[in-house]
Amino acid sequence: MRVITGTARGRKLQTLSGDDVRPTTDKVKESLFSAIQFEVEGRGFLDLFAGSGQMGIEALSRGAKSATFIDLRKDAVAVVRKNLETVGFEDRAQVRCTDSLMFLRSCQEKYGVAFVDPPYGKGLAEKALELLPSVMNPAGVIVVETSDKEELPEKAGDFTLDRTYRYGTIKVWTYRCPLED
């Protein structure tokens, strides 16, 4: 696993081990960041269910102002911190070891981009979508990764499903607020 482009391009990142770990592939990561490339620079990035933190680190490498990494697993948080050290982004990052849904319920910050990649098939993506609009800037984008078997709602607060991308057994959903005329 590596950083694809930007200031940390080519840097290798550590990942978690175990059968339940499924890091976002480079192909999906590259396609996803191509779809939101003009919405990352200068914005705050929220990486929910962060795992190794590779998505938030990619966003920082591409010019995100800051990134917040949330994961409940202590081993994941340790890997995120190590990866941030490796690329030198500790000063622009906040790492929290907490439940993602609890974090959303109490968060006072606003983000420009949120990436959500919860364990598949547990209904966590839908629960996060219910809470995310309260922590998003109206011009922001919410990106959710699920298995291709999961279905998500058309709306999340004022955010509406914009596009769905399919990569084998992975589905990526983007939500945006409709522009007012």
DSSP of the chain, one letter per residue? -B--SSTTTT-B-----STT--PPPHHHHHHHHHHTGGGTTTSEEEEET-TT-HHHHHHHHTT-SEEEEEES-HHHHHHHHHHHHHHT-GGGEEEEES-HHHHHHH----EEEEEE-PPTTSSHHHHHHHHGGGGEEEEEEEEEEEETT----SEETTEEEEEEEEETTEEEEEEEPPPP-
Q: Are 142 and 158 in contact (CB under 8 A)?
A: no
Q: Which residues pair with 114 in a beta bridge?
A: 46, 142
pLDDT at 142: 97
Q: Are 36 and 103 in contact (CB under 8 A)?
A: no
pLDDT at 173: 95
pLDDT at 22: 66
pLDDT at 181: 46
C-alpha closest to that of 55 among 129, 71, 169, 157: 71
What are the structural domains of the chain? 26-176 (3.40.50.150)
pLDDT tens, N- to C-terminus, the chain (181 residues): 888 888 888 899 988 776 556 677 778 888 889 889 889 999 999 999 999 999 999 999 999 999 999 999 999 999 999 999 999 999 999 999 999 999 999 999 999 999 999 998 899 999 999 999 999 998 999 999 999 999 999 999 999 999 999 999 999 999 999 865 4
